[in-house]
Structure 1
Amino acid sequence: MNQQTGQEETKTFGWSGWRNSGAVRWLLLLLFVLLFYFSLAPHVLPKTYNIELGKASDRDIEAPMEIKDEKATLQAQEDAAERVEPMYSIVALRSETLLEQVFARMEQLNQDDQVTLENKVAIYRSEIPQMYIDYVDQFVRLNKGNGTYNDSLLEEMSTVVKEQAYRIPEETFYKMPQLTAAQLSDMQTVAVQIVHKLMGDSLREAETARTKVAELVNASSLSERKSREIVQELARYAIMPNKFLDKQATNDARVAAKENTPQVVIKQGDVIVHKGDEITKETYERLSSFGLLQTKKNYWPQLGLFLFSALFLIVIYGYLEKASNLSGGTRTGYSNAQILMLLLIYLLNLLAMHIVELTQTRTMPYVGYLAPTAMGAMLIVMLLDVQLAVVSSFVFAIMGSIIFNTGSGQIFDFNYGFTTAVVSFAAIFAIHRASQRSTILKAGIMASLFGSASVLAILLLGDIPPKTDLVMTVAFAFASGLLTAILVVGLMPFFEVTFGILSALKLVELSNPNHPLLRKLLTETPGTYHHSVMVGNLSEAAAEAIGANGLLCRVGSYYHDIGKTKRPGYFIENQTNFENPHDSIDPKLSKSIIIAHARDGVEMLKNHKLPKPIRDIAEQHHGTTFLKFFYHKATKLAEEEGVEPDFTEEDFRYPGPKAQSKEAAIVGIADSVEAAVRSMRSPTMEQVESMIHKIIKGRLEDDQFNECDLTLKELEKIAQTLKETIIGIFHSRIEYPEDVKSKERLA
Structure 2
Amino acid sequence: MGKTLDNVYKHQSLVYKYFLYVVSIALIVFFFPKGGKFKYEFQKGKPWQYENLYAPIDFSIKKTQKEIEEEKSSIRANKTDYYTYNASVVSDVRAEVAAELNTLFQSGNFSSQQRQSLRSLFEEVLEDIYTDGIFQTLPESESTVVVKNNEAQPVSPSDYLVLEQAKREISSRFSGANMVGAPRLTGILRNSLKANLFYDEALTESALSDELSKISYTRGEVDQGKLIIAKGEIVESEDFKILNSLKDEYESKLWMGSNYYFILLGYTVLVALVLIMLFLFLKRYRNEIFQNNNKVTFIFFNILLMVLATTLMTKHYENYIYMVPLCILPLVLKNFFDARLGLFVHVLTVLILGFVVPNSFEYIFLQTIAGIVTILTASELYKRANLFISVGQITLIYIVGYFAFHAIHEGNLQNIEWILFGVFVLNGLLTLFAQPLIYMFEKVFGLVSDVSLLELSDTNSKLLKELSDKAPGTFHHSLQVANLAEAAANEIGANAMLVRVGALYHDIGKMERPTYFTENQITNVNPHDDLPPKESAKIIVDHVINGIEIARKSNLPDRVIDFIRTHHGTTVVYYFYKKQQELDQEVDEEDFKYPGPIPFSKETAILMMSDAVEAASKSLKDPTFTIIDEFVEKIVKGQMQANQYLNANITLKEIEMVKKVLKQKLTNIYHLRVEYPE
In the TM superposition, what is the alpha-carbon distance from 1:497 to its structure 2 partner? 3.4
Q: Which residue of 2 aligns with 1:504?
A: 450
Output the CA distance in 2 between the equivalents of 1:341 and 1:34: 17
Q: Which residue of 2 aligns with 1:429?
A: 376
Of residues 340, 343, 364 in structure 2, which corresponds to 1:390? 343
Q: Which residue of 2 aligns with 1:538?
A: 484
Output the CA distance in 2 between the equivalents of 1:634 and 1:295: 84
Q: Which residue of 2 aligns with 1:308?
A: 270
In the TM superposition, what is the alpha-carbon distance from 1:16 to its structure 2 partner? 6.9
Q: Contact 2:507 / 2:543 at 8 angstroms: preserved in 1?
A: yes
Output the CA distance in 2 between the equivalents of 1:296 and 1:530: 74
Output the CA distance in 2 between the equivalents of 1:443 and 1:39: 30
Of residues 461, 479, 489 in structure 2, which corresponds to 1:515? 461
Output the CA distance in 1 between the equivalents of 2:303 and 2:648: 31
Match of 1:623, SS? coil
**Superposition TM-score, scaled by structure 1 size:** 0.63
Match of 1:630, SS? helix
The residue type equivalent to 2:307 in the other structure is L
Aligned CA distance change for structure 1 residues 558 and 202 (closer, same or farther; 3 Å) = farther
In the TM superposition, what is the alpha-carbon distance from 1:692 to its structure 2 partner? 1.9
Aligned 1:276-295 pairs, distance under 5 A? 291=253
Whether 1:526 and 2:489 are equivalent positions in the alignment is: no
Whether 1:358 and 2:344 are equivalent positions in the alignment is: no
Q: Which residue of 1 aligns with 2:330?
A: 377
Output the CA distance in 1 between the equivalents of 2:85 and 2:354: 51
Of residues 477, 481, 485 in structure 1, which corresponds to 2:432? 485
In the TM superposition, what is the alpha-carbon distance from 1:451 to its structure 2 partner? 1.9
Of residues 406, 410, 420 in structure 2, which corresponds to 1:463? 410
Aligned 1:203-282 pairs, distance under 5 A? 239-246=191-198, 257=208, 260-261=211-212, 263=214
Aligned CA distance change for structure 1 residues 43 and 470 (closer, same or farther; 3 Å) = same
Of residues 652, 655, 672 in structure 1, which corresponds to 2:612? 672
Of residues 387, 390, 394 in structure 2, which corresponds to 1:443? 390
Match of 2:417, SS? helix
Of residues 390, 405, 419 in structure 2, which corresponds to 1:472? 419
Q: Contact 1:445 / 1:481 at 8 angstroms: preserved in 2?
A: yes
Whether 1:603 and 2:549 are equivalent positions in the alignment is: yes
Instruction: List alignment gaps of at least 5 residues for structure 1.
Output: 1-13, 47-62, 110-118, 157-198, 204-230, 268-286, 406-411, 639-643
In the TM superposition, what is the alpha-carbon distance from 1:562 to its structure 2 partner? 1.3
The residue type equivalent to 2:208 in the other structure is A
In the TM superposition, what is the alpha-carbon distance from 1:441 to its structure 2 partner? 4.8
Q: Which residue of 2 aligns with 1:404?
A: 357
Q: Contact 1:451 / 1:477 at 8 angstroms: preserved in 2?
A: yes
Aligned 1:192-211 pairs, distance under 5 A? none
Output the CA distance in 2 between the equivalents of 1:127 and 1:464: 85
Aligned CA distance change for structure 1 residues 454 and 354 (closer, same or farther; 3 Å) = same
Output the CA distance in 2 between the equivalents of 1:44 and 1:342: 28
Q: Contact 1:542 / 1:718 at 8 angstroms: preserved in 2?
A: no
Whether 1:549 and 2:506 are equivalent positions in the alignment is: no
Aligned CA distance change for structure 1 residues 396 and 477 (closer, same or farther; 3 Å) = farther
- With 688-697 and 723-732 compared, the bigger mean Cα shift is at 723-732
Q: Which residue of 2 aligns with 1:44?
A: 36
Instruction: List alignment gaps of at least 5 residues for structure 2.
Output: 1-7, 39-58, 65-70, 150-162, 168-182, 219-248
Of residues 596, 615, 623 in structure 2, which corresponds to 1:656? 596
Whether 1:694 and 2:647 are equivalent positions in the alignment is: no
Whether 1:579 and 2:524 are equivalent positions in the alignment is: yes
Of residues 571, 588, 594 in structure 2, which corresponds to 1:625? 571
In the TM superposition, what is the alpha-carbon distance from 1:726 to its structure 2 partner? 3.6
Aligned CA distance change for structure 1 residues 389 and 724 (closer, same or farther; 3 Å) = closer
Output the CA distance in 2 between the equivalents of 1:137 and 1:422: 83
In the TM superposition, what is the alpha-carbon distance from 1:475 to its structure 2 partner? 0.8
In the TM superposition, what is the alpha-carbon distance from 1:671 to its structure 2 partner? 0.6
In the TM superposition, what is the alpha-carbon distance from 1:235 to its structure 2 partner? 7.5
Aligned CA distance change for structure 1 residues 448 and 130 (closer, same or farther; 3 Å) = farther
Of residues 509, 512, 516 in structure 2, which corresponds to 1:566? 512
Deviations 1:206-245 (A, max 9, x none): xxxxxxxxxxxxxxxxxxxxxxxxx999977862142222
In the TM superposition, what is the alpha-carbon distance from 1:390 to its structure 2 partner? 2.4
Q: Contact 2:134 / 2:195 at 8 angstroms: preserved in 1?
A: no
Whether 1:683 and 2:620 are equivalent positions in the alignment is: no
Output the CA distance in 2 between the equivalents of 1:261 and 1:142: 36
In the TM superposition, what is the alpha-carbon distance from 1:511 to its structure 2 partner? 1.2
Q: Which residue of 2 aligns with 1:137?
A: 124
In the TM superposition, what is the alpha-carbon distance from 1:322 to its structure 2 partner? 5.3
- Could you say what the CA RMSD is over the residues aligned between the two structures, in angstroms? 5.2
Aligned CA distance change for structure 1 residues 309 and 263 (closer, same or farther; 3 Å) = same
Deviations 1:37-95 (A, max 9, x none): 4455634358xxxxxxxxxxxxxxxx999699xxxx9xxx9xx999967599999xx99
Match of 2:196, SS? strand
In the TM superposition, what is the alpha-carbon distance from 1:131 to its structure 2 partner? 3.4
Q: Which residue of 1 aligns with 2:299?
A: 342
Aligned CA distance change for structure 1 residues 125 and 306 (closer, same or farther; 3 Å) = same
The residue type equivalent to 2:122 in the other structure is Y
Q: Contact 2:313 / 2:321 at 8 angstroms: preserved in 1?
A: yes
Output the CA distance in 2 between the equivalents of 1:251 and 1:239: 31
In the TM superposition, what is the alpha-carbon distance from 1:528 to its structure 2 partner? 2.0
In the TM superposition, what is the alpha-carbon distance from 1:489 to its structure 2 partner? 3.0
Output the CA distance in 1 between the equivalents of 2:659 and 2:251: 77
Output the CA distance in 1 between the equivalents of 2:37 and 2:507: 61
Deviations 1:548-574 (A, max 9, x none): 433322110010011223333332223
- With 433-442 and 660-669 compared, the bigger mean Cα shift is at 433-442
Output the CA distance in 1 between the equivalents of 2:457 and 2:258: 66
Name the % identity. 23
Answer with 1 or 2: which has the greater Rg: 1
In the TM superposition, what is the alpha-carbon distance from 1:717 to its structure 2 partner? 2.8
The residue type equivalent to 2:402 in the other structure is V
Q: Contact 2:600 / 2:649 at 8 angstroms: preserved in 1?
A: no
Match of 2:618, SS? helix
In the TM superposition, what is the alpha-carbon distance from 1:480 to its structure 2 partner? 1.4
Aligned 1:117-156 pairs, distance under 5 A? 121=108, 123=110, 131=118, 134-135=121-122, 137-138=124-125, 140-141=127-128
Q: Contact 2:468 / 2:475 at 8 angstroms: preserved in 1?
A: yes
Q: Contact 1:434 / 1:505 at 8 angstroms: preserved in 2?
A: yes
Aligned CA distance change for structure 1 residues 648 and 667 (closer, same or farther; 3 Å) = same
Q: Contact 2:453 / 2:497 at 8 angstroms: preserved in 1?
A: yes
The residue type equivalent to 1:668 in the other structure is M
Match of 2:432, SS? helix
In the TM superposition, what is the alpha-carbon distance from 1:662 to its structure 2 partner? 4.2
In the TM superposition, what is the alpha-carbon distance from 1:350 to its structure 2 partner? 0.4
Q: Contact 1:40 / 1:399 at 8 angstroms: preserved in 2?
A: no
Deviations 1:155-206 (A, max 9, x none): 99xxxxxxxxxxxxxxxxxxxxxxxxxxxxxxxxxxxxxxxxxx98999xxx
Deviations 1:252-302 (A, max 9, x none): 9579736752535689xxxxxxxxxxxxxxxxxxx9997479687686655
Output the CA distance in 2 between the equivalents of 1:85 and 1:522: 86
- With 460-469 and 627-636 compared, the bigger mean Cα shift is at 460-469
In the TM superposition, what is the alpha-carbon distance from 1:516 to its structure 2 partner? 0.9
Whether 1:723 and 2:660 are equivalent positions in the alignment is: yes
Aligned CA distance change for structure 1 residues 26 and 294 (closer, same or farther; 3 Å) = closer
